């Protein structure tokens, strides 16, 4: 006789005031089974709830700071990130974005996709989503 084991998968919503509130019906992040799924982050300053200056360096830093705050809230670090997806409003930002990105992912760089899209929420120049594993 086979024994059936039912594992209940826990789904925990991760929320921090140190990253901007969701601009739609989604969570900042979801943690389940030792994995953290961070929703796409746009360059909103969580203190002002406004988009930061319209240059790719400032916007990339803000996005990665927001991701860092969510990682920290969930007990993860940048080194735990295994995959990111970077969306750019213009592919001409790629080189500069890469330079800023590299300063946050200094070890165990995650797998990544980066591509240009027609438009991003709130007129942002960049959006990044991430997956981390403990």
What pLDDT score was predicted for residue 37?
A: 98
Each residue's pLDDT tens digit, 38-81: 999 999 999 999 999 999 999 999 999 999 999 999 999 999 99
Residue that the structure tokens 């400032």 belong to: 58
Q: Quick check: 18 and 111 in contact, CB under 8 A? A: no
Q: Contacts by 89-92 with C-beta closer than 8 Å and gap 24+?
A: 89/116, 89/117, 89/119, 89/120, 89/124, 89/125, 89/126, 90/116, 90/125, 91/115, 91/116
Say whether 21 sits in a helix, a strand or coil.
coil
Say if domain 26-133 classifies as CATH 3.10.310.30: no
What are the residue boundaries of the structural domains of the chain, listed by start? 26-133
Q: pTM for the whole thing? A: 0.91
């Amino acid at each position: 006789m086979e024994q059936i084991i039912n594992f209940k998968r826990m789904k925990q919503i991760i929320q921090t005031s140190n990253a901007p509130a969701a601009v739609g019906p989604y969570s900042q992040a979801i943690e389940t089974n030792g994995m953290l799924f961070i929703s796409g982050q746009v360059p909103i300053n969580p203190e002002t709830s406004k988009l930061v200056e319209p240059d790719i360096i400032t916007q990339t830093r803000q996005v990665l700071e927001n991701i860092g705050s969510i990682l920290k809230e969930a007990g993860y670090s940048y080194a735990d990130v295994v995959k990111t997806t970077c969306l750019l409003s213009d592919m001409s930002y790629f080189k500069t974005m890469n330079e800023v990105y590299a300063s946050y992912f200094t070890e165990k760089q995650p797998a990544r996709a980066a591509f240009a899209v027609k438009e991003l929420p709130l007129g942002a120049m960049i959006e990044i989503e991430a997956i981390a594993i403990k």
